[in-house]
Amino acid sequence: MNYLISGASGGIGKAILKELYNTNDNFIVLYNSKKNFIKKKNITSYKSNFKKLKEVKSLITAILNKFSKIDVFINCAGNANPYKEAFSISDDEFENSLRINFKSPLIIMTTIIKNQIKKKLKLNIINISSNTIKYGGSKYNLHYLCSKVALENACKNLSKNFIDRNIKINIIRPGVIHTNMHKKIKGYTAKDFKKRISKIPLKKSGTSKDISKTVKFIISKDSNYIHGQIFTVAGGE
């Protein structure tokens, strides 16, 4: 099998790669800034910038030319920057959020789906979204909220329209997960993070492994009848 994992250098992406890794399959990983995942002969890595749509299209085309097919695509790429009120967000900041969180993943999904259908092959897709959608976002993340809502609805549409072609698509909404992502959000402080955790029914943040275990279940044969669904992993929220 060929696995494609985007956002593989982030906390959740690395955990998923570690959870799924085996020596029999091929793992193609996309990263943006740091190539800090496990190094094995059957792991092929590509640096990618999801802000550049033409480059993303060229890259996924090149990957398919090399590997012929993708059996599982897990999109972990995401960026919640900047932490600003709606009227303070520039057009470029809004567009970047859409490109990273929605447009680039959509390009990859549709390109792979077309390839798999043409070759009459199955495909399993999981997109990592965000539980911020459940609450309509916050005062400071309208751009991020819009991009993730767009991604989820695209997934539902594609799932509904291609389920009869052996295309399986599901979504995971992580709640507050303890990774370095919150530290990279400009304007989001440790105090903000602590305050956010206090609102979780379990009164603690989740771990990347909570997400990777969910991914492992969704791509397993035990979930063959589950299509087009949203899995919330958020400590009771």
Higher local confidence (pLDDT), 181 or 143: 143
Q: How far apart are CA 75 and CA 26, in angstroms?
A: 16
Q: Which range, of 34-43, 75-84, 228-237, averages the lowest pLDDT?
A: 34-43
Q: Which range, of 62-66, 67-71, 104-108, 181-185, averages the lowest pLDDT?
A: 181-185
Phi-psi region of 116 (alpha: psi -120 to 50; beta: other; left: phi over 0): alpha
Q: What is the pLDDT of residue 9?
A: 86
Is 203 exposed, middle or buried, given 0-12, 13-18 or 19+ CB atoms closer than 10 A?
Answer: exposed
Higher local confidence (pLDDT), 176 or 196: 176
Q: φ and ψ at 207, to 5 degrees?
A: -120, 165
- The mean pLDDT value of the chain amounts to 92
Q: φ and ψ at 33, to 5 degrees?
A: -110, -50
Q: Structure tokens of 188?
A: 């989001």
What number does CATH give the domain 2-233? 3.40.50.720
Q: For 73-99, write each residue's pLDDT tens digit.
A: 999 999 988 889 999 999 999 999 999
Q: For 40-51, write each residue's pLDDT tens digit.
A: 889 999 999 999
Q: How far apart are CA 36 and CA 50, in angstroms?
A: 18
Q: Structure tokens of 225?
A: 């009848």
User: How many other CB atoms are found less than 10 A from the CB of residue 126?
Assistant: 24
Higher local confidence (pLDDT), 40 or 215: 215
Percentage of residues of the chain with pLDDT beyond 90: 74
Q: What is the pLDDT of residue 39?
A: 77
Q: What is the pLDDT of residue 184?
A: 62
Q: Pick the closest to residue 13 from 102, 70, 74, 97 (CA basis).
A: 74
206: DSSP letter? B
CA dihedral 202, 208, 1, 171 (to 10 degrees): 50
For 131, the 3-state DSSP assignment is helix
Looking at the predicted structure, is the pLDDT value of residue 38 above 70? no
- Assess contact for 132 and 145: CB atoms under 8 A: yes
Query: Contacts by 21-27 with C-beta closer than 8 Å and gap 24+?
Result: 25/1, 26/1, 26/2, 26/67, 27/3
pTM of the prediction? 0.92
What strands lie across the sheet with 167-174, from one edge to the other? 43-47, 26-31, 2-6, 72-75, 123-128, 167-174, 230-233
Q: What is the arithmetic mean of pLDDT over 184-194?
A: 71
Higher local confidence (pLDDT), 42 or 203: 42
